[in-house]
Amino acid sequence: MEPSDQITNQEKKIKELEQGLNDLRQGLTLVRDYYRDLEPVSREQDAIEAVDEQVTRQLIDEDIEFEGIWKFHEDALVPDPLARVPLGEMYGAFVRYCEKNGRSVVDQDAFEFVFERLENPKPELSRGEWIGYRLRTDRG
């Protein structure tokens, strides 16, 4: 092989290597751009997950509160269409029931809001008294 052919071959190899290096640089630029575009999406996804977690936690807390009121309704009350229990006495019985059974106590407004919407039978609120239930005396 003549020296001029060797130089030509080396020049071709150098050009191929330069082209390969150029292709790698372009690929690296594409990868950088791709990750730069992903960064805000990732932050947005983290924010969405945080909001979802907070909403889910609130729903679970509300379910736990409702379940406590429902269990009080089932365990500590007796349906009686003629019975009347003052608001404070009913809420006090609810608080004692929750403390005795390891349930979360909700404030009186939340208790009354949920309790008033229970059914079978539906309690009535009139002049500071709950009508339709009496407190069970054997437990509660």
Does residue 17 form part of some domain?
no
81-131 per-position pLDDT tens digit: 999 999 999 999 999 999 999 888 888 998 998 888 888 788 888 899 999
Does residue 20 form part of some domain?
no
Does residue 125 form part of some domain?
yes
Q: Give me the domain span that covers residue 81.
A: 56-135
Number of domains forming the structure of the chain? 1
Does residue 78 form part of some domain?
yes
Does residue 79 form part of some domain?
yes
Residue with the bigger pLDDT between 34 and 1: it is 34
Q: Report pTM.
A: 0.56
The CATH number assigned to the domain holding 128 equals: 1.10.10
32-91 per-position pLDDT tens digit: 888 788 777 677 777 777 766 776 666 556 666 778 888 998 999 999 999 999 999 999
Does residue 33 form part of some domain?
no
Cis peptide before 86 (omega within 30 of 0): no
